[in-house]
Amino acid sequence: MVIYLHGELGAGKTTLVRGVLNALGYAGRVKSPTYTLVEPYHIAGLDLRHFDLYRMHDENEWESAGFREEFDGQNIFFIEWPEKAINLIPQADVEIDLEILPRGRNAEIHANTDMGKQCLEHL
């Protein structure tokens, strides 16, 4: 499953991923992968990958990091700033748009595939 996270800096993308991981029982530190580009997690029998592509500059960087191998159909991906690698990553099953409001945040969730629709039906 591939989940794109959209929103300006500070909109809450990493906070959302942290909340999902905590809800699954992860008790460790969930940090933003801004500098490492990806943080892997194994929790509740699931392999999750949290990508933050904000600092990615070109396709060569993606290839040299070996990220293509991560997309093996076995992992769940949360991808911040997916537009930085739109031609390199799979289509999103779910897209979450976060918006900063004067008081709080607004989140819009869209399912793009049957898998995404099934996921949202179970929420």
Q: Tell me which of 3.40.50.2000, 3.40.50.300, 3.40.50.1110, 3.30.420.40 is the CATH number of domain 2-121.
A: 3.40.50.300
Domain ranges in the chain?
Answer: 2-121
Average pLDDT estimate for 98-105: 94
Average pLDDT over all residues of the chain: 90
- Rounded to whole angstroms, the Cα distance separating 38 from 85 reads 13
Q: Taking residues 87-101, what's their average pLDDT?
A: 93
CA distance 20 to 24: 6
Tens digits of residue pLDDT in 58-88: 777 877 777 877 887 788 999 999 998 888 8
Average pLDDT over residues 53-62: 82
Pairwise CA distance, residues 21 & 46, whole Å:
10
